């Protein structure tokens, strides 16, 4: 189910005044928290702040957050004669196993006057007994068209001139994360009122795909020294290794190489990303990746 389908289902809950426990899973910046708040506004109107509380599980991961904060709010009757209140638990996958077990029991005890909305990046980290008590909605990365539409609306409201290629750049740097796209737009607008793509890439500390393509073309052509010098320029600008790897992954399938080479390159790219995540030296690993590409036959 796409975001549009999820929105329609949540609207039906607001119209009926009834809803089950909900579990929102998906990547960051795709509207999970906004959907929960929107549902609360639809259910309670002006009284939504009295019947809705938001907790971040990454701040308090242990069992105390369930025993204290959640139970205290759950015991209080809804304001305005509503049947139930809503507890929104963000980053629920950060809760420990013991805390999740306690939460499962709390959801049962207070089900008469309280509904839970759990939000997480990975539903697999939520224990099965909780998942079985919730209607699960899986959010996806926002489509390019949806992201561009919102960016244009924001730019128009704020009186910002933004070129079409800059909107494309926002799409590239955000990767479907609306929050990241809006932050990049806001940072760029603080510098200039007519935003160009170069400003977007600079503010997002991201790599332009055409720059990365030149580096890969040099390496694939056997020019390791040239590719390494080009990569050094990117690193000197403050570009992170994580961002470099993500951009390479995006453009691999556009490279003019055989499928066999693409498969081998993706495999090595995953190995490089894993080693960096585990604490290996970023520069050495990126140089090793370029060396591997230069030696590919």
CA atoms of 120 and 138, how far apart (whole Å): 10
Task: Tell me: pLDDT of 60 over 80.
Answer: no
* Cα 30 from Cα 148, distance rounded (Å): 14
**What's residue 62's pLDDT?**
57
Residue with tokens 């990454």, as numbered in its chain: 58
Q: What is the mean pLDDT of the chain?
A: 86
Q: Express each pLDDT in 135-194 by its tens digit.
A: 999 998 888 888 888 888 988 888 888 888 888 888 888 878 888 888 888 888 888 778
262 shares a domain with 196? no
Other Cβ atoms closer than 10 A to 210: 8
Same domain (yes/no): 39, 88: yes
Residues 234, 265, single domain; the answer is: yes
Among 138, 165, 190, the domain boundary falls at 138
Q: For residue 66, what pLDDT is reported?
A: 67
- Name the percent of the chain lying above pLDDT 90: 31
Averaged pLDDT for residues 41-66? 80
Taking alpha carbons only, the member of 121, 142, 132, 139 closest to residue 10 is: 139
Task: Give the pLDDT of residue 115.
Answer: 93
The CATH number of residue 69's host domain is 3.40.50.300
**Average confidence (pLDDT) over 7-31:** 91
Query: pLDDT (tens digit, 9 = 90+) per residue, 117-134?
Result: 999 988 889 999 999 999
- Say which CATH number the domain at 221 has: 1.20.272.10
Asked if residue 282 has pLDDT above 70, the reply is yes
pLDDT at 179: 86
Domain of residue 133: give its range: 3-138
Whether the per-residue pLDDT at 69 is higher than 80: the answer is no
Residue where a domain stops, chosen among 158, 188, 203: 203
Predicted local distance difference test score (pLDDT) of residue 211: 85
Here the CATH number for the domain that contains residue 177 is 1.10.8.60
Of the candidate ranges 10-19, 27-36, 125-134, 185-194, the one whose mean pLDDT is the lowest = 185-194
Q: Which two tokens stand for residue 209?
A: 């795909």
C-alpha distance from residue 250 to each of 6, 96, 97, 114, 199 (Å) = 28, 34, 36, 44, 21
Structure tokens at 118: 């759990």
Domain count, the chain: 3
| Radius of gyration, CA atoms only, the chain | 23
**What confidence tens digit (pLDDT) does each residue in 177-217 have?**
888 888 888 888 888 778 888 888 877 777 788 888 899 99
CA 140 to chain centre: 9
What pLDDT, on a 0 to 100 scale, did the predictor assign at position 59?
Answer: 62
pLDDT at 61 over 60: no
Q: Which residue has the higher pLDDT, 70 or 253?
A: 253
Do 110 and 17 belong to one domain? yes
- Give alpha helix (H) positions in the chain: 3-16, 32-44, 64-65, 71-75, 97-109, 128-131, 144-158, 164-174, 178-189, 197-203, 209-220, 224-236, 241-251, 259-277, 282-295
For residue 271, the model assigns a pLDDT of 93
Average pLDDT rounded to a whole number, residues 21-34? 90
**Do 75 and 38 have their domain in common?**
yes
Q: Which of 117, 138, 159 is the last residue of a domain?
A: 138
* Whether residue 125 is found in the same domain as residue 242: no
Looking at residue 2, its pLDDT comes to 63
pTM over 0.85: no
Band of the pLDDT at 65, cuts 50, 70, 90? Answer: low
Are both 283 and 234 inside the same structural domain? Answer: yes
Residue 57 has pLDDT above 80, yes or no: no
pLDDT tens-digit readout, 72-113: 888 888 888 899 999 998 888 888 888 888 888 888 888 888
Is 119 found in the same domain as 87?
Answer: yes
User: Helix, strand, or coil here: 122?
Assistant: coil
- Asked whether residue 61 falls in the same domain as residue 180, the answer is no
């Amino acid at each position: 189910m796409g975001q549009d389908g999820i929105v329609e289902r949540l609207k039906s809950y607001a119209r009926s005044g009834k809803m089950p426990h909900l579990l929102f899973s998906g990547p960051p910046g795709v509207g999970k928290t906004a959907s929960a708040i929107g549902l609360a506004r639809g259910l309670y109107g002006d009284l939504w702040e009295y019947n809705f509380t938001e907790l971040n599980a990454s701040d308090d991961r242990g069992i105390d957050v369930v025993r204290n904060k959640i139970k205290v709010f759950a015991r209080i009757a809804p304001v305005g004669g509503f049947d139930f209140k809503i507890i929104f638990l963000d980053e629920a996958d950060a809760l420990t196993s013991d805390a999740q077990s306690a939460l499962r029991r709390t959801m049962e005890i207070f089900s008469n006057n309280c509904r839970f909305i759990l939000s997480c990046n990975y539903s697999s980290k939520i224990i099965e007994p909780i998942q079985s008590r919730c209607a699960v909605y899986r959010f996806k990365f926002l489509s390019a068209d949806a992201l561009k539409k919102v960016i244009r609306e924001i730019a128009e409201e704020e009186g910002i001139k933004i070129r079409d290629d800059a909107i494309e750049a926002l799409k590239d740097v955000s990767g479907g994360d609306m929050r990241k796209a809006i932050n990049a737009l806001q940072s760029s607008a603080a510098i200039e009122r007519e935003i160009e793509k170069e400003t977007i890439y600079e503010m997002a500390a991201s790599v332009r795909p055409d720059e990365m393509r030149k580096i890969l073309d040099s390496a694939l052509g056997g020019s390791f020294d040239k590719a390494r010098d080009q990569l050094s320029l990117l690193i000197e600008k403050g570009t992170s290794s994580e961002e470099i790897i993500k951009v390479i992954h995006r453009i691999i399938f556009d490279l003019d190489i055989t499928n066999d080479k693409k498969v081998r390159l993706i495999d090595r790219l995953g190995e490089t990303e894993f080693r960096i995540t585990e604490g290996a030296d970023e520069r050495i690993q990126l140089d090793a990746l370029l060396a591997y590409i230069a030696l590919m036959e």
